Amino acid sequence: MTPGWLVHLHAGATLYMAGLIWFVQLVHYPLMRRVGREGYDVYQAQHARRTAWAVGPAMLTELACAVWLVALPPAELGRGLPLAGLVLLAVIWLSTARLQVPCHRKLAHGFDPAVHRRLVLGNWLRTAAWSARGVIALAMI
């Protein structure tokens, strides 16, 4: 049996990440190109370190809850919404590992407009997926 608090914890973590990704997409990533070449390496290193603290706990909480909700879905929900949410989460994690992390690693050696553009454009996938997850998480409450 799935405890009721789990659905709420899942929604909280998902909505936090959905809001954060919109901030990153519309404010944070576009402003990266304004940092300037001097000091960019330090900026990027600090960005990576600080971002890990802002996203790590929420992403891990969201993942654990999503897996739990698929494994033991609330009877009134069935498995459809939790499974759709988990598929979207897989897309997010794959995009993070295959696109965003490599771009950030390249940017750690200095600003590159082409890499930055790839980072911003590719992040729209995560933005859309987390937005859809937010809708799903709210539908499960």
Write down the number of H helices and E strands in the chain. Answer: 6, 0
- Give per-residue pLDDT as tens, 2-38: 788 999 999 999 999 999 999 999 999 999 999 988 8
- Give per-residue pLDDT as tens, 31-57: 999 998 888 888 988 998 999 999 999
The pLDDT assigned to 39 comes to 83
For the cut 90, the answer to whether the pLDDT of residue 77 exceeds it is no
Structure token pair of residue 124: 């729209």
Q: Tell me the mean pLDDT in the region 108-120.
A: 95
- What is the maximal distance between C-alpha atoms in the chain? 57
Q: In whole angstroms, give the CA distance from residue 49 to residue 78.
A: 39
For the cut 80, the answer to whether the pLDDT of residue 1 exceeds it is no
How many beta carbons lie within 10 A of that of residue 66, not counting itself? 24
Q: In whole angstroms, give the CA distance from residue 43 to residue 57.
A: 22
